[in-house]
Structure 1
Amino acid sequence: MNYHVDSNGYYGKFGGAYIPEMLYPNVEELREQYLDIIAEDAFQEEFNALLKDYVGRPTPLFLANRLSEKYGAQIYLKREDLCHTGAHKVNNTIGQIILAKKLGKKKIIAETGAGQHGVATATVCALMGIDCIVYMGEVDMARQKPNVERMRILGAKVVPATSGSKTLKDATNEAMRHWINNPKDTHYIIGSVVGPHPYPDMVTRFQAVISAEMKTQLKEKTGNEDPDYVFACVGGGSNAAGSFYHYLDNESVKLVAVEASGLGVSSGKSAATTALGKSGVLHGSKTLLMQTPDGQVVEPYSISAGLDYPGIGPMHAHLFDTKRVEFLSATDEEAMQAGIELSRLEGIIPAIESAHAFAALSQMKFDASDVVVINLSGRGDKDLDTYIKWGKY
């Protein structure tokens, strides 16, 4: 079984590039050049130097002793929350801003849900002196106000998306619309493993540094570079793609993706795509998405802005379809409780997105010898207002 993208941009039956004619030159330019550019020595030298000296990589792999004791396994946390800007998103924006420069682009646009990708994009644009516009749902702007202000401080223009559910899907729609109207001088830094080919593969390659480091660090700590389990939360799925990448072809490693089931999978207020979705096209690729019988997108819901998306990336759709990855889900309440539990047991307040991955621990049965790695994809600073409003701590 092949779990990687093919030459046509497909993962099995998912993927491709379903795009308006106006975007074809941009996407085709990327498709033709991205692999050659990122393979260049000069690109790799600049990318790796910035990951080390600017982002702060490698991020630690931390043995969570109290969490391990509670769940009866050796649980390690991949500390992406310690990256500059507070989440894994910056791995991708560093790669894409270097690529955009090499393609001669003068302006950057992005979409964001929880705001972490927006902050990471604004950060690298400030670093490189490039104009930046970030589209963000009006609802997400209200619940992630600190990140909105961080983007503005960094010099980005933050544009509210006021249509639909006013969340991530709608921000992506607005960014795509902008790109269609400004195709020649603008690069769109997509933040997740979604969108037309080559974006899902390109973002995965930039995030694959996570699992590459995991292997080296596990070898040092346990004598074996392969864990028994890797857990990650999934909305679009960039942190999961990076966490899983170097283990995809090793089926002795169990991969677990955790979606947001909101108020419950069957509540009508959920973002559990694999439980509720079917094949369709969204934002330029064929994937699994939540939709009505006549193909209209169902509005997603999650307490976490970064998981509030009606689909998943095409790679994840293929991993679900082939059963390579086990997909679980956690409700708002379960995720919030898991976030507080991690805070109390290990002194780490996680992003609510990441807390969903921790919530799945209670759904598993481990052996005491099992080595479990959870990708702690972001820190909870941005979510303090949500934690406070929830109040059960």
Structure 2
Amino acid sequence: MAEDLPNSYKTGPDENGRFGLYGGRFVSETLMPLILDLEAEYERAKTDQSFWDEMDFLWKHYVGRPSPLYHAERLSERLGGAKVYFKRDELNHTGAHKINNVLGQIILARRMGKTRIIAETGAGQHGVATATVCAKFGLKCVVYMGAHDVERQKPNVFRMKLLGAEVVPVTSGRGTLKDAMNDALRDWVTNVRDTFYCIGTVAGPHPYPAMVRDFQSIIGKETKEQMMEAEGRLPDTIIAAIGGGSNAMGLFFPFLDDKDVRIIGVEAGGKGVNEKMEHCASLTGGRPGVLHGNRTYLLQDDDGQILEGFSISAGLDYPGIGPEHSWLHDTGRAEYVSITDKEALEAFQLSCETEGIIPALEPSHALAHVMKIAPDLPADHIICMNMCGRGDKDIFAVAQHLGQDLG
């Protein structure tokens, strides 16, 4: 695995788990031994060929990797300008990129002798992936999900229950992803002996941001190989949606040393980036602070209190972002923009109409930015967008926003 990582990143974050000013390990004394045990286990696994052999086997035969790289021909014609490709991670087993990372973490959990897996989830895809892999390996699974998200993601709640998971609605705060992560961390502190916390994004205390990124980087690695096969060269621009940012880091990471490749992350602009924080664009409208064990950009008030963000997308409805994204933002290697709910809904419909692909609301944000920039780019410009999830889970929410009564 190490030989596939960018040269400038061979050493990963520093010994304190920091990406420049960001990241780190801000946790209680109770959790510190668990974090250190996990870090040690992952360091062993990274150089253990049997670990990667098991991962490769399951990625291929259980997840269905490699996921296709697809030329969205009719969409490209409709937009004019650039040639648009989708990296189709929505075709993975469970319908999103989340299972790439869950497999790695649960294999580590089994190596550590853990029998109970807990997870947080927003849109439900990480919860479904965790419940799926727990069912495969016969592990107990508990998923914390904000009560607000339970209501708007009912299909995924039912899927988790079918797979044997206990779904715990979280009523604190606004009942979204931030609150679910809070309760999952409380559970972990209480049940340190047999429990493993499977975090779904590139956030949390070190080693989670780097570890999740490494597992998800299979997306970018495949994309580079497939693009060379399809076009004989790398794309000019790569684009992905960002909540915490795991699908984006998965696509971006293998391209970081390819300086001619433009990298764009798309945050949730909600009702528009404004002082009321009716959005979840942490890099666009936030500032650095500490949340969930790491230092990163956050939506917060002048006293450092975390504010409740807003997005039509449950998976992007988080008031922070992964620390490596914060670092890439500050260094200028990646650009970060925001897309509103309205623009994401328009992109959702355009994908359906032109390509017969129903996207999740999360990648619909990325597609909306593709719609903005593609028409002004030359025909030989190649854009690759990560279609990180399918829209089965969102059809009821979209119907409601479009004024359709599904009965």
TM-score (norm 1): 0.98
Partner SS state of residue 214, structure 1 = helix
Match of 2:182 among 173, 182, 186: 173
- The 1-side partners of 2:299 and 2:85 are apart by 33
Query: For residue 367 of structure 2, what is the aligned residue in structure 1?
Result: 358
Q: Does 1:7 align with 2:18?
A: no
Query: Could you tell me which amino acid in structure 1 is paired with residue 91 of structure 2?
Result: L
Query: Could you tell me which amino acid in structure 1 is paired with residue 51 of structure 2?
Result: F
- The 1-side partners of 2:226 and 2:191 are apart by 43
Query: Could you tell me which amino acid in structure 2 is paired with residue 282 of structure 1?
Result: L
Query: For residue 263 of structure 1, what is the aligned residue in structure 2?
Result: 271
Deviations 1:122-167 (A, max 9, x none): 0000000000000000000000001001000000000011100100
Query: For residue 28 of structure 1, what is the aligned residue in structure 2?
Result: 36
Structure 2 contact 277–299 (Cα < 8 Å) conserved: no
**Cα gap change, 1:71/1:285 in structure 2, threshold over 3 Å: closer, same or farther?**
farther
Cα drift, residue 7 of structure 1: 2.8
Query: Could you tell me which amino acid in structure 2 is paired with residue 234 of structure 1?
Result: I
Partner SS state of residue 22, structure 1 = coil
- The 1-side partners of 2:241 and 2:344 are apart by 11
Query: Could you tell me which amino acid in structure 2 is paired with residue 230 of structure 1?
Result: I
Query: For residue 377 of structure 1, what is the aligned residue in structure 2?
Result: 388
Query: Could you tell me which amino acid in structure 1 is paired with residue 291 of structure 2?
Result: L
Structure 1 contact 232–374 (Cα < 8 Å) conserved: yes
Deviations 1:100-128 (A, max 9, x none): 11111111000000000000000000000
Partner SS state of residue 31, structure 2 = helix
Cα drift, residue 35 of structure 1: 2.2
Between the aligned residues of both structures, percent identity stands at 52
Match of 2:379 among 345, 351, 368: 368
Cα drift, residue 74 of structure 1: 1.3
The count of residues paired between Structure 1 and Structure 2 equals 392
Alignment of 1:145-160 (within 5 A): 145-160=154-169
Structure 2 contact 347–371 (Cα < 8 Å) conserved: no
Cα drift, residue 8 of structure 1: 2.2
Deviations 1:63-100 (A, max 9, x none): 00112121411111000010000000000001111111
Query: For residue 41 of structure 1, what is the aligned residue in structure 2?
Result: 49
Cα drift, residue 184 of structure 1: 1.9
Alignment of 1:112-127 (within 5 A): 112-127=121-136
Query: For residue 294 of structure 1, what is the aligned residue in structure 2?
Result: 303
- The 1-side partners of 2:227 and 2:30 are apart by 46
Structure 1 contact 38–99 (Cα < 8 Å) conserved: no
- The 1-side partners of 2:271 and 2:34 are apart by 39
Match of 1:102 among 107, 111, 126: 111
Query: For residue 199 of structure 2, what is the aligned residue in structure 1?
Result: 190
Query: Could you tell me which amino acid in structure 2 is paired with residue 312 of structure 1?
Result: I
Partner SS state of residue 339, structure 2 = strand
Match of 2:398 among 384, 387, 390: 387
Partner SS state of residue 30, structure 2 = helix
Query: For residue 162 of structure 1, what is the aligned residue in structure 2?
Result: 171
- Taking only aligned residues, the RMSD between alpha carbons, in angstroms, comes to 1.2
Q: Does 1:141 align with 2:143?
A: no
- The 1-side partners of 2:250 and 2:17 are apart by 18
Structure 2 contact 243–315 (Cα < 8 Å) conserved: yes
Q: Does 1:331 align with 2:335?
A: no
Structure 1 contact 81–378 (Cα < 8 Å) conserved: yes
Cα drift, residue 2 of structure 1: 5.1
Alignment of 1:223-302 (within 5 A): 223-224=232-233, 226-266=234-274, 267-302=276-311
Structure 1 contact 47–95 (Cα < 8 Å) conserved: yes
Partner SS state of residue 58, structure 2 = helix
Deviations 1:212-250 (A, max 9, x none): 1001101110111x2101000000000001000100122
**Cα gap change, 1:357/1:32 in structure 2, threshold over 3 Å: closer, same or farther?**
same
Structure 1 contact 110–133 (Cα < 8 Å) conserved: yes
Runs of 4+ in 1 over 3 A off after TM superposition: 1-4
Query: Could you tell me which amino acid in structure 2 is paired with residue 375 of structure 1?
Result: N
- The 2-side partners of 1:323 and 1:14 are apart by 15
Partner SS state of residue 46, structure 2 = helix
Cα drift, residue 42 of structure 1: 1.2
Runs (5+) with no aligned partner, structure 1:
none
Query: For residue 320 of structure 2, what is the aligned residue in structure 1?
Result: 311
Match of 2:70 among 62, 76, 79: 62
Query: Could you tell me which amino acid in structure 2 is paired with residue 339 of structure 1?
Result: F
Cα drift, residue 371 of structure 1: 1.1
Structure 2 contact 89–96 (Cα < 8 Å) conserved: yes
Partner SS state of residue 59, structure 1 = coil
- The 1-side partners of 2:372 and 2:391 are apart by 23
Query: Could you tell me which amino acid in structure 2 is paired with residue 118 of structure 1?
Result: G
Query: Could you tell me which amino acid in structure 2 is paired with residue 390 of structure 1?
Result: H
Deviations 1:303-347 (A, max 9, x none): 000000000000001011111111011000000100100110111
Structure 1 contact 240–257 (Cα < 8 Å) conserved: yes
